[in-house]
């Protein structure tokens, strides 16, 4: 299948979704106007994808839908600022990146495609794990500011646990990628590859 010209897709999509500089607080009317702008930009991006065919069109659509979802999540996080909404925005970005990456994997075949999908999934897992850890750490930091010394110690433990959980999730995702790469081998070479992967990621 023909390689994608990603820059061409980006030009075709032409999505602005530039809400990064938006003020933290906005009125209901401003929120509504921004929502309508996101919808209009998605409609335009979707129409632009018609210029492509086959997998290039699928990637274009995945990018358009992903950017729309991220823009909506970021808008919600600015309209109603909270750790939960900021977390949802990070998750939306992770999911959007995964959808696009997975579609791009369709340009590959066999084990190369399998590894590509595993790598895309691992990147999503890492991003979500970091987002979850950040949310838990922020909550723990807030609790530490507002409570007693004993509660602060508990908050610190929660932060350590959050980071540990994130590290474990990312390690498992990377191990899945390593195992998939071993499928490119056979016999003793494959066994050696799997043994190396287990040793590297602490798996029995």
Query: Looking at the 3D structure of the chain, how many domains does it have?
Result: 2
Which pLDDT tens digits describe the chain residue by residue (204 residues)? Answer: 444 444 444 444 444 444 443 445 789 999 999 999 999 999 999 999 999 999 999 999 999 999 999 999 999 999 999 999 999 999 999 999 999 999 999 999 999 999 999 999 999 999 999 999 888 888 777 766 665 666 667 766 766 777 777 788 888 888 899 989 999 999 999 999 999 999 988 887
Say whether both 137 and 196 belong to one domain.
Answer: yes
Q: Does residue 33 form part of some domain?
A: yes
- 100 lies in some domain: no
In a domain? residue 112: yes
Q: Same structural domain for residues 122 and 76?
A: no
Q: Count CA within 13 A, CB hemisphere, residue 50.
A: 5
Domain co-membership, 72 together with 131: no
Domain hosting 25: range is 1-81
* Residue 98 is assigned to a structural domain of this protein: no
């Amino acid at each position: 299948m023909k390689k994608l010209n990603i820059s061409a897709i980006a030009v075709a999509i032409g999505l602005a979704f530039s809400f990064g500089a938006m003020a933290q607080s906005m009125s209901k009317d401003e929120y509504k106007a921004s929502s309508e702008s996101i919808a209009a930009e998605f409609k335009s991006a979707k129409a632009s994808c018609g210029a492509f065919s086959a997998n290039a069109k699928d990637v274009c659509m995945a990018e358009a839908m992903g950017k729309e979802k991220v823009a909506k999540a970021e808008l919600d996080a600015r309209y109603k600022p909270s750790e939960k909404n900021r977390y949802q925005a990070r998750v939306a970005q992770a999911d959007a990146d995964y959808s696009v990456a997975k579609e791009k994997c369709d340009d590959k075949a066999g084990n190369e495609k399998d590894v590509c999908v595993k790598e895309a999934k691992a990147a999503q897992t890492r991003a979500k794990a970091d987002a979850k850890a950040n949310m838990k750490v922020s909550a723990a930091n807030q609790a530490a500011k507002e409570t007693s010394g004993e509660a602060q110690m508990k908050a610190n433990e929660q932060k350590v646990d959050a980071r540990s959980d994130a590290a474990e999730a990312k390690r498992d995702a990377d191990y899945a990628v390593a195992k998939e790469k071993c499928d490119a081998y056979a016999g003793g070479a494959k066994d050696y590859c799997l043994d190396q992967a287990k040793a590297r990621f602490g798996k029995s």
